[in-house]
Copies of this chain bind each other. A is one copy, B any other.
Amino acid sequence: MQFNEFYNERTGLTVGIKKVLFSESTPYQKVEVLETDTWGNMMTIDGMVMLSEKDEFVYHEMIAHPAMFAHPEPKRVLIIGGGDGGTAREVMRHPAVTHVDMVEIDEAVVRASKQFLPEVGAFDDPRLHVHYEDGIRFVEQVTDPYDVIIIDGSDPVGPAVALFSESFYRNCRKALSGQGVLTAQTESPWVGSYHPAIRNLFSLLKETFEVSEMYLAFIPLYPAGMWSLAFTSRGIHPHDPDVSERVEKGTMRMGSALRYYNRDIHHAAFALPGFVRDILE
């Protein structure tokens, strides 16, 4: 049995599958966990790979640490989506963290992850509070602001469309504390059909936040193996000297828990190939 995810007509990923471990059509989407040949268990949503046990460290380290190290003292963190728990796990490696709200619209994602991806999520950490709610509405109603917000949603189809909208990001900005930092996943630069969505998103981020930068990560099971993310903030820049200092010290302390992110990667990830810059113009 083979899983296919084509991102460009008939081009894309093929993965050998041993067994379907979980398959449920929820009110929001189809959630599956597949046992693969060589990537451990792999979760898909509506036929798109979300993570595998073997490669999830890249995505989760790269969506969490650039923001978490940028903030001088990230106590309160909000994660929109992220139901597999991997982003929360990386967030909670930072000792400053006292409270994490994770707002996952689909409880089936959390249930499937706890059962079939048990090493991914840090669901037992008492700092983590899981809410099965619509992240769009949750952000509208924030009263106690967050130091870091991470938008760990799926692709801009289905329930995640509004995660690419202007009003959502305006509400996110309001929900951030004074030195707040926000990161989000923003699709693969190699998928032409997403270029308009990426361009619009970065254009509205630029209008909404004082700092907004794209950065990149190598994710083998995502379309074309290249993934883009957004770093935005109310003033902190990823290359600020005190950010570099925190990254340097913090990555040393975390040691081998980090398998992708490090000091060099923190800065290098913001270098964009010409064809990627062109998408943003």
Contact = CB atoms under 8 A, between A and B. Distances in A.
Interface of A: 2, 4, 6, 8-16, 36-39, 57-58, 190, 216, 218-220, 224-226, 256, 258-262, 264-265, 267-275, 278
A14 B16 CA distance: 12
Given A218-B225, A273-B262, A37 B9 contact: yes
Contacts of A219: 225
Given A224-B225, A268-B268, 19 more contacts: A4-B14, A9-B37, A10-B37, A11-B36, A11-B37, A11-B39, A58-B273, A219-B225, A220-B225, A258-B274, A259-B273, A261-B273, A261-B274, A262-B271, A262-B274, A265-B271, A267-B271, A268-B269, A269-B271
Interface SS of chain A: mixed
Contacts of A278: 259
Contact of A218 (B6, B9, B216, B265): B216
A55 to B, nearest CB: 8
A276 to B, nearest CB: 9
A38 B11 CA distance: 8
Contacts of A36: 11
A225 B223 CA distance: 9
A37 B259 CA distance: 36
5 contacts: A10-B16, A11-B36, A11-B39, A265-B273, A267-B271
A12 to B, nearest CB: 6
Contacts of A57: 275
A195 to B, nearest CB: 14
